Amino acid sequence: MPSVPSTKLRIRQKLGKYRIEKRLGEGGFASVFQAMDTIMGTRVALKIPHEPLVDDQLLASFRKESRLLATVDHPGILQIKDASIINGRLVISFPLGMETLFDRLSRRMSFDTTMLLIDQLMEAVAFAHERKVIHCDIKPENVILFADGSARLADFGIAKVARQTIKGCGTGTVGYMAPEQAMGRPSCRSDVFSLGLVFYRMLAGQWPEWPYEWPLPGYQKLKTRVPQSMIAWLRKSIEINGAKRFPDAVRMRNAFMRIRPEATRFVEKQRAKKRAQRNSDTARQSKVRTRRAA
């Protein structure tokens, strides 16, 4: 990826109606800031492409992709609030979440929370695939979590503009993309692969890596958390051969909904065993204390 100068914006600097508060991240295409909308009185996330990349071609691509994104209106997809040229910069405004899934994965996540996030992400991607829209860069950094417990997938459309703009940047993010996508042939199956990798990490606690040969890292933990039917579902999602994968997130979601009740029963059974073991240990310790007291 070519080296691109950072967008030089200072904390507390005004950019149109926005006041920059802090930098949230930076990549080869853009920098992301937390800012205050001084007119609406709300905080937003600003994605600002690096100035050397902004030309008529980029703006034309951005307009096309933004209009396409507007047709994919779903609670699980992060929509653009506003896009403007301010002081020669393209400034794209989004709702500001609490953190990304990448941040959240640094802390323990319960099974219930994991399943809730999987539900939301699959529904969002399935909705897009039904409308023939693919993401091409599904990764934890592009999943934004909000205080109400909702998750929204960011960068629909913008990921495509970035690919077209930065020569040699590939077709996604290395470590998250399907083999055919790395060769420049992304499809709905590629999004399925990326979703499978993210879900495996959420459930197993480790990232599977190339060549994705089973058993994958974290497999022993995975076996204690979900039934074999769900492991088979994950395995099909991240098949190297795209023809053996789910063809899109719609089919992936439908298969998940069939095995979800079994996964819930499996976890409830595991929890019941742990409770029984704790009660047994407590009773045993109580008997020991009683004998000692006598």
Residue environment code for 275-293, b if the CB has 16+ CB neighbours within 10 A, otherwise e: eeeeeeeeeeeeeeeeeee
- Across the beta sheet with 151-153, what order do the strands follow? 99-100, 143-145, 151-153
Q: Select from 222, 232, 231, 225 the least CA-distant residue to 270.
A: 225
**Catalytic annotation present for 191:** no
Lookup: tokens for 250: 């719609």
Contact of 140 with 100, CB cutoff 8 Å: yes
C-alpha–C-alpha distance, residues 47 and 92, integer Å: 5
Q: Which of 37, 73, 119, 137 is catalytic?
A: 137
Q: How far apart are CA 55 and CA 74, in angstroms?
A: 30
221 is in an annotated binding site: no
Contacts of 285 (CB under 8 A, 6+ apart): none
Unique residue bearing structure tokens 């051969």: 241
- Active site members: 137
Binding residues for ATP: 47
